[in-house]
Structure 1
Amino acid sequence: MSGPAAFGRLVGAGWTLLRNDALLPRELRDLYPPVVLTLSKALHLMAGRQAAQGRPGERLARSLERLGPVAIKLGQLLSTRADIFGAEFAEDLARLKDRLEPFPTAIARAEVEHALGRPIETLYASFGEPVAGASLAQAHEAVLLDGRKVAVKVLRPGIARRVGEDAEVLALAARLIDRWVRPARRLEPRGFAAAVIRAALLELDLRLEAAGCDELGEVMGHDGYMRAPAVVWEGVGKRVLTLEWAQGWPLSDAEALTQPGLDRKLLAVNLIRAFLSQALDHGVFHADLHEGNLFVAAPARLTAVDYGIVGRLSAPERRYLAEILWGFLQRDYPRVAQVHFDAGYVPAGHSVAAFAQALRAVGGPVFGRAASEVPMSRVLTQLFEITALYDMRLRPELVLLQKTMMTVEGVARRIDPDHDIWAAADPVVRRWMLRELSPPARIRRFAEEAQAALRNLARLVENPPRAPVVVTPTLPARPRWLWFVLGALAAGAAFVARGVIG
């Protein structure tokens, strides 16, 4: 899309929000400062008749649905945080999770046949009406020829073009914010937009989602906190995905949490531990865990669907996350502060001790308290003030992690209002710390590094560089036999270390 066209769509998005009184809704005027209150009243004069229809959340949901898939993703995130925006507002946005207007089944059948290159009857004994409609695709209930019940996900017609248009608009908005809103620059609007756009584009190839589902299914099988449906590979194409039917009730259904025999406390604990074990132990996690993508069954069984967005963490990022969580669990705020500096999250010019004091001000009042006793909106406001005070910038590579943590914590709160996130996280974080930072683990890493050094040394000896090696006058060149001796010593150290740690 050209620049002028993107700008026109951006203006159109603002006009849609304005006409629905979803930009600065009149119901919140008691909370606005004087300048914003005046602006709200002025904008309301331009609102259409539809602005009087429904509550603020309903009007925002209506606006976001018209604005397209990327905007709908934002609404899905907001809908998970009833503790911040209010239960009524979150419920009004809940329809964006899986209750969007479906497209005709006849079109879906044609899409399946085109994507798979075969008549639909050669794979499915029956192919039913849509059972869920999301921003990018809809799901149909079907039965395979061998009798297995499956869900068939089909991309919406024209969705690639719509996502491309939304991506241009989001990128333009990020550039404008970065240029004209100086306080927002530390939030890295361009990097944030790029991360969101890339995630949305990857969702347009359902073959990648099938691979993500299969990979995370293996990962989830290690602990059993959550499971993934099995992939029916013969029913997978770029625009079609077939998975075994998820057992239980979708968590977006109001009756899901009232089913007989459900242990809501354990269910919330399993959700937190499932996410943390994926991220910490394996460095890969389901990055779209809102209620519309979770099925629950008694007593505390969780099945996740929709693997279009998969988050990944490098080894250093996993270590920083674990050490920060462990520091909070131990109330070791100086350690938490130091990790932030080590990771580069806080610029080096600030005081570690002063930052630790600020973290204590946030963590002290909430540690060990039930979710229902913690005003999360106030905590987030305080955290935002601290990040500004210490010049902390958004890390684009951590956008999916932070977004998923926020979503998961919000869903856990809804499942169990008295949920204690710290108690739920403790066993997973403690296990990681004992395994990765214990003396045996350090010896194991040394052994691995020694072996890697030996392999590199062997390659260097076998294929010496063509360019002449410059030897400084003060350090005589070492004979080649010395490198073999050093290599043998490294190999011996690796062998001994492996024997020590078993």
Structure 2
Amino acid sequence: MFGAFGHLLHLARVGYVLTREGVVALVPAERVPALARPGLWVARLLARKADAGRAERIMAALTRLGPSYVKLGQFLATRPDIVGVSLARDLEGLQDRMPAFPQAIAEAEIEAALGKPVTQLFTRLGPAVAAASIAQVHEGEIRLEDGTLRRVAVKVLRPGIPALFQRDIAAQAFVAKLIERLVPSARRLKPYEVVLTLKRTVELEMDLRFEAAALSEMAEATANDPEFSVPRVDWANSARTILTMDWIDGIKLTDIPAIEAAGIDRVDLSRIVMQNFLRHALRDGFFHADMHQGNLFTTRDGKLVAVDLGIMGRLGPNERRFLAEILFGFITRDYRRIAEVHFEAGYVPRHHSVEAFAQALRAVGEKIHGRNAAEISMAELLSLLFEITGLFDMATRTELVLLQKTLVVVEGVSRALDPSFNMWTTAEPVIRDWIERHLGPVGRIEGLARDVGALLQSVRRLPDLTERAERVLNALETPRNAPPARDRLMLPLTVAVWAIALSLLMLVLAQFSF
């Protein structure tokens, strides 16, 4: 009971901050029940007088509420299916900036995590150069075995932040459950599930070993990519609360004047950003899900370097195929094929018409294709697509929503570099190559080999499964005059073997029937 009372006090503080920053006053009166409208009038009187738009007011309120609410806002910016495209755009600008904690505390955290004095670990450890809600970054130097010095970035988890997040997220979960109980219309948005997803995401971010692993995996996947790289991890000087990696001597993509002064081709850099993101998503099924300008650098020779891999997205083979075919369908204006892919993937329930869905997609695609390249926006495309999802009862797929939102952010980065950037013409070579590689003759043969391998693996397991079944049956009491256990197993075993053989035959025929 005390916990519930504490959550209610927390909710009261949140309501006060939202009221003072003018967020509550932004709610249209017609959307508020009649009995609650006097409260809206009071909220407008209490709002701080400020000449600020909706986005600025929301960001000010979340920043004032603290780091967990900043993270909540950033998370909701990736879920336009929940908050709407307009509000998601407002939340995109929410910056995760916090005052740096003292150098002495950072050094104490490093020594506690790595078990050695800072002076033995680093030849130099400078003050924090960036600070956010979860961690801050210091510039330092380490001495290699050959005696040379290497510049490193040292990321230190903010002390006490796990407990703070647990407290705030517990309150948010309480509020989410309350909303689901009191507002039936909100249940379809699954607010409690949203909070749990945020909780899992933040818990991963607060263990810097996961980010180190993501950097390592991304480095392996992109080892042969000439235009992209990530910092190398120094595992010896990393732990759960400490991440040491190469220092990036580059230019942030937020600094357009510096990029121009360095003579870097902005148009080509915009291409590199988009094509590498799509390549990672399609080829590797593993992509940086927080690719805003502040997390991207360019080297003097125009190479792209990504940092802050705390949030990563993953796509399975099927999702990658559907993504490629859907994007390629929009590029080639093959709306029928896009509709078919949605039905094949199970995104649209079978009781709907493929033709009707293709018609709705045409209404979206033709509107975009009929405009100048500078006006074509992935954000607008998603906005239009979200409008038709309700008409066709399409369920939300979390991994695809994260991908879609990241695609919008990446397009914005590329467009900031090149105002005439055209996502469709830039994306076409990557998508076409992937389709030819995976859905062409070579891809079908490789897919067949994988499927046959999986089937053979199942066949190899049959003796083990049979032996286990025999042990189970022998453990049971055998009725008098019943046939031996082996005879009883022969019929289902024979059926199983024939079923696998027929499945293999059908798979082969399906692969070569196109």
TM-score bucket of the superposed structures, by smaller chain? 0.7 to 0.9
Structure 2, unaligned runs of 5 or more: 474-484
In the alignment, is the contact (CA less than 8 A) between 2:378 and 2:411 conserved in 1?
no
Which deviates further from its counterpart, 124-133 or 38-47? Answer: 38-47
Counterpart of 2:322? 320
Closer, same or farther: CA 6–262 of 1 in aligned 2, 3 Å: farther
Q: 2:443 aligns with which of 441, 455, 458?
A: 441
Which deviates further from its counterpart, 428-437 or 294-303? Answer: 294-303
For 1:385-464, list aligned pairs within 5 A. 385-461=387-463, 464=466
Closer, same or farther: CA 371–132 of 1 in aligned 2, 3 Å: farther
Counterpart of 1:9? 10
Closer, same or farther: CA 421–260 of 1 in aligned 2, 3 Å: same
Q: Distance in 2 between matches of 1:472 and 1:461?
A: 12
In the alignment, is the contact (CA less than 8 A) between 2:215 and 2:233 conserved in 1?
yes
SS in structure 2 at match of 1:150: strand
Closer, same or farther: CA 477–181 of 1 in aligned 2, 3 Å: closer
Q: 1:72 aligns with which of 55, 70, 73?
A: 70
The residue identity in structure 1 corresponding to 2:276 is A
For 1:136-215, list aligned pairs within 5 A. 136-146=134-144, 147-181=149-183, 184-215=186-217
Closer, same or farther: CA 144–170 of 1 in aligned 2, 3 Å: same
TM-score, normalization by structure 2: 0.81
Counterpart of 1:43? 43
In the alignment, is the contact (CA less than 8 A) between 2:142 and 2:152 conserved in 1?
yes
Closer, same or farther: CA 2–399 of 1 in aligned 2, 3 Å: farther
In the alignment, is the contact (CA less than 8 A) between 2:313 and 2:399 conserved in 1?
no
The residue identity in structure 2 corresponding to 1:125 is T
Q: 2:295 matched to 1:293?
A: yes
The Cα RMSD (Å) is 3.7
In the alignment, is the contact (CA less than 8 A) between 2:376 and 2:422 conserved in 1?
no
The C-alpha deviation readout for 1:227-254, integer Å capped at 9, x for no partner, is: 1001111110110101101121223446
For 1:186-265, list aligned pairs within 5 A. 186-253=188-255, 255-265=257-267
Which deviates further from its counterpart, 176-185 or 387-396? Answer: 176-185
Offset, 1:151: 0.6
SS in structure 2 at match of 1:389: coil
Counterpart of 1:358? 360
Counterpart of 1:337? 339
Closer, same or farther: CA 242–54 of 1 in aligned 2, 3 Å: same
Q: Distance in 2 between matches of 1:196 and 1:171?
A: 10
Counterpart of 1:119? 117
SS in structure 2 at match of 1:365: helix
The C-alpha deviation readout for 1:55-110, integer Å capped at 9, x for no partner, is: 654443332223233432355579999xx879x9789x46x24x421111111111
SS in structure 1 at match of 2:123: strand
The residue identity in structure 2 corresponding to 1:101 is P
Closer, same or farther: CA 116–190 of 1 in aligned 2, 3 Å: same
Q: Distance in 1 between matches of 2:382 and 2:125?
A: 46
The residue identity in structure 1 corresponding to 2:375 is E
In the alignment, is the contact (CA less than 8 A) between 2:20 and 2:47 conserved in 1?
yes
Counterpart of 2:271? 269
Q: Distance in 2 between matches of 1:262 and 1:368?
A: 32
The C-alpha deviation readout for 1:422-475, integer Å capped at 9, x for no partner, is: 1121111111111111123222222232233223223323552324578799x7
SS in structure 1 at match of 2:297: strand
Structure 1, unaligned runs of 5 or more: 498-502
SS in structure 1 at match of 2:262: coil
Counterpart of 1:500? none
Offset, 1:410: 2.5
TM-score, normalization by structure 1: 0.83
Closer, same or farther: CA 155–181 of 1 in aligned 2, 3 Å: same
- Name which one, 1 or 2, has greater alpha-carbon Rg: 2
Q: Distance in 2 between matches of 1:437 and 1:113?
A: 52
The residue identity in structure 1 corresponding to 2:384 is Q
Which deviates further from its counterpart, 252-261 or 221-230? Answer: 252-261
In the alignment, is the contact (CA less than 8 A) between 1:451 and 1:490 conserved in 2?
no
Percent of residue pairs identical: 42
Counterpart of 2:480? none
Q: Distance in 1 between matches of 2:362 and 2:20?
A: 44
Offset, 1:404: 1.9
The residue identity in structure 2 corresponding to 1:8 is L
Q: Distance in 2 between matches of 1:427 and 1:296?
A: 22
The C-alpha deviation readout for 1:326-369, integer Å capped at 9, x for no partner, is: 21122111111121122222222222111111111111122385
Closer, same or farther: CA 35–477 of 1 in aligned 2, 3 Å: closer
In the alignment, is the contact (CA less than 8 A) between 2:374 and 2:422 conserved in 1?
no
Closer, same or farther: CA 208–360 of 1 in aligned 2, 3 Å: same
Closer, same or farther: CA 231–477 of 1 in aligned 2, 3 Å: closer
Q: Distance in 1 between matches of 2:192 and 2:487?
A: 44
- Using CA pairs below 8 Å that are at least 6 residues apart, which structure has the higher relative contact order? 1
